[in-house]
């Protein structure tokens, strides 16, 4: 006889079988090394940090760097720039910086610090004004479209905005940090990685040659772009190069190498969450008059360990490869709509699901001479956990990212 409000024996039997399978899977799964959620492997002992102004987040960030070995100097105002260099990070308190966007003394300090390769960072507040000050100081020109749209790369005001000059193959260009970290510890890791020039493998960039070659223009570091404890993180790096001596002087060509790095909870937070799916969408806005999408790769691929990105086969530096072991690449790009769009479907039982996974698609934007390359982008990641493979989207699509580039002259 079945008592009121109870489940039939068959129902309980199904639950017990499923639970047993789940427990068996967990027992068989290789154990993961414990990972600290704060300052995991952070190496800041070779850094000097100059904190200018105050503010809760800026102070907490600098405290984390000091705990990791960084040497910290705190200043209520603008000091001399003589002692700045590549291993120095200047952290501006958000509120302090907002009040001085038009300050000529601040602009002069930025102009002196930038050629010394110091990292310049604004923490918290309306961080979009950081690039407004750089623009007014003559260090970074905020792109503007033909219709007057201002394309500030930090328009969505991330927690951390950074700028430093980087040299690749004899060419110097901006390296921009935009971090959406949810804690001072995560932001500290992002900042140290950026200063130490963490890279997914820069393309060859030659100072001068008569053969077709690439010239470094700029890079964008979104680290992290999404941060969801305990699910994981998503980091994105977009490096942009200009193709020179290509034999078609009526156009300019911008090569984009995009690194999409999903860090599952098993790595980021010592949790049970794994990689499941990533999306990488790039759109050339208002294309067809002054700019066009002309190359993209890879195409759809599965059942192989490596995928090869052949953007311009005759130009060796514009081609590379990355691993897709346990991954299916789904190409949804479209030349007609000037869209470069990839989905990476990750086998949830493969080692790739448990480890940090990097995909590196690429594309080329052709422009008329003197016109910048404009690209709108958004990314997304989905993590899954090992209990009936219940899925979650840690967030919807990211804010629209403006991956704009302009390289003047030869």
- Per-residue model confidence (pLDDT) at position 84: 85
Q: In whole angstroms, what is the distance from residue 383 CA to residue 369 CA?
A: 43
Whether residue 47 is found in the same domain as residue 122: yes
pLDDT tens track for 79-137: 887 678 888 999 999 999 999 999 999 999 999 999 988 999 999 999 999 999 999 99
> 57 with 113, same domain?
yes
Q: Which of 89-98, 201-210, 302-311 has the lowest mean pLDDT?
A: 201-210
Residue 49 in any domain: the answer is yes
Same domain, 220 and 351: yes
Say whether both 56 and 135 belong to one domain. Answer: yes
Kindly state whether residue 15 falls inside one of the protein's structural domains. Answer: no
Q: What is the number of domains present in the chain? A: 2
CATH number, domain of 331, equals 2.70.240
CA–CA separation, 362 and 308 (whole Å): 10
Q: Which of 107, 130, 159 is the last residue of a domain?
A: 159
How far is it, in rounded angstroms, from Cα 22 to Cα 387? Answer: 6
**Domain identity same for 206 and 267:** yes
* Average pLDDT taken over every residue of the chain: 86
Query: Tens of pLDDT along 160-200?
Result: 999 999 988 888 899 999 999 989 999 999 999 998 875 55
Q: Is the pLDDT of residue 17 over 50?
A: no
Q: What is the mean pLDDT of residues 340-350?
A: 94
Domain-embedded: residue 183: no
Per-residue pLDDT for 64 more than 60?
yes
Q: State whether the Cα torsion 59-65-69-75 is positive or negative.
A: negative
Q: What percent of the chain has pLDDT over 70?
A: 86
Same domain, 130 and 216: no
> Domain containing 246: what range?
199-410
- Do the domain assignments include residue 85? yes
Of 144, 159, 174, which marks where a domain is finished? 159
More confident call, 393 vs 242: 242
Share of the chain above pLDDT 90, in %: 69
Q: What is the pTM of this model?
A: 0.87
pLDDT of residue 314: 82
Report the pLDDT averaged over residues 200-220. 81
- Considering the domain architecture, whether residues 246 and 144 belong to the same structural domain is answered as no
Could you tell me if residue 176 is inside a domain? no
Check pLDDT > 60 for residue 18: no
pLDDT recorded at residue 96 = 95
Answer whether residue 8 is part of any domain. Answer: no
335 pLDDT higher than 90: yes
For 36, other C-beta atoms within 10 Å of its C-beta total 11
Task: Summarize the confidence of residues 9-27 as an average pLDDT.
Answer: 29
Residue 265 scores a pLDDT above 50: yes
Looking at 190-338, which runs of residues are DSSP E strands?
A: 213-228, 232-244, 252-264, 273-283, 291-297, 306-310, 319-323, 327-331
Q: Are residues 144 and 218 in the same domain?
A: no
Among the candidates 136, 159, 182, a domain finishes at 159
Q: Are residues 110 and 233 in the same domain?
A: no
Are residue 56 and residue 105 in the same domain, yes or no? yes
Q: Is the pLDDT of residue 147 over 70?
A: yes
Can you spell out the DSSP letters for 370-405? T--B--EEEEEEEEEESSTT-EEESSSSPPPEE--B
CATH number, residue 154: 3.40.50
CA-wise closest residue to 268 among 393, 183, 379, 166: 183
Q: How confident is the model at residue 12, as a pLDDT?
A: 31
Mean pLDDT of 254-258: 97
27 membership: H or E segment, kind and range? helix 9-28
Q: Is 204 found in the same domain as 144?
A: no
Q: What is the predicted pLDDT for the residue at 281?
A: 98
Local confidence band at 248 (pLDDT 50, 70, 90 cut-offs): confident
In a domain, 9, yes or no: no
**151 and 114 in contact (C-beta within 8 Å)?**
no
More confident residue, 30 or 173: 173
More confident residue, 36 or 372: 372
Look at residue 224 and tell me whether its pLDDT is greater than 80.
yes
Q: What pLDDT band is residue 209 in, cutting at 50, 70 and 90?
A: confident
> Which DSSP helix (H) or strand (E) runs through 132?
helix 128-136
Q: Are 208 and 409 in contact (CB under 8 A)?
A: no
Per-residue pLDDT at 390: 65
Place 216 in a pLDDT band, splitting at 50, 70 and 90.
very high
Q: Are residue 231 and residue 366 in the same domain, yes or no?
A: yes
DSSP E strand stretches across 12-70: 48-52
Query: Is residue 356 included in any domain, yes or no?
Result: yes
């Amino acid at each position: 006889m079945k008592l009121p409000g109870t489940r039939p024996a068959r129902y309980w039997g199904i639950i017990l079988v499923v639970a047993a399978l789940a427990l068996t899977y967990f027992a068989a799964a290789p154990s993961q090394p414990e990972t600290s959620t704060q300052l995991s492997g952070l190496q800041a002992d070779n850094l000097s940090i100059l904190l200018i102004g105050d503010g809760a987040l800026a102070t907490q960030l600098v405290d984390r760097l000091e705990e990791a070995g960084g040497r910290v100097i705190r200043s209520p105002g603008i000091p001399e720039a003589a002692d700045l260099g590549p291993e120095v990070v200047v952290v501006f308190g958000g509120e302090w910086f907002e009040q001085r966007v038009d300050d000529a003394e601040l602009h002069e300090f930025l102009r002196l610090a930038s050629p010394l390769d110091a990292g310049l960072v604004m923490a918290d507040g309306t961080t979009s004004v950081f690039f407004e000050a750089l623009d007014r100081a003559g260090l970074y020109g905020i792109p503007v479209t033909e219709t007057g749209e201002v394309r500030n790369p930090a328009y969505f005001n991330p927690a951390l905005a950074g700028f430093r000059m980087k040299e690749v193959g004899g060419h110097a260009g901006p390296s921009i940090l935009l971090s959406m970290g949810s804690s001072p510890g995560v932001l500290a890791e992002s900042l140290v990685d950026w200063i130490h020039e963490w890279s997914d493998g820069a393309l060859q960039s030659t100072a001068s040659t008569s053969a077709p070659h690439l010239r470094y223009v700029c890079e964008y570091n979104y680290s992290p772009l999404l941060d969801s404890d305990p699910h994981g993180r998503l980091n994105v790096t977009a490096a942009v190069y200009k193709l020179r001596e290509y034999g078609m002087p009526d156009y300019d060509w911008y090569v984009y190498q995009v690194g999409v790095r999903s860090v599952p909870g098993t790595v980021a937070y010592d949790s049970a969450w794994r990689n499941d799916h990533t999306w990488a969408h790039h759109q050339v806005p208002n294309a067809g008059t002054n700019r066009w999408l002309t190359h993209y790769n890879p195409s759809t691929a599965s059942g192989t360990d490596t995928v090869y990105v052949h953007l311009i086969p005759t130009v060796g530096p514009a081609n590379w490869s990355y691993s897709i072991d346990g991954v299916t690449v789904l190409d949804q790009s479209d030349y007609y709509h000037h869209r470069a769009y990839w989905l990476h479907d990750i086998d949830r039982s493969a080692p790739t699901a448990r480890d940090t996974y990097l995909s590196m698609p690429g594309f080329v934007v052709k422009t008329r001479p003197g016109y910048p390359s404009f690209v709108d982008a958004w990314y997304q990641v989905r993590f899954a956990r090992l209990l009936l493979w219940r899925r979650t989207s840690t967030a919807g699509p990211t804010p629209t990212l403006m991956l704009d580039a302009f390289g003047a002259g030869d």
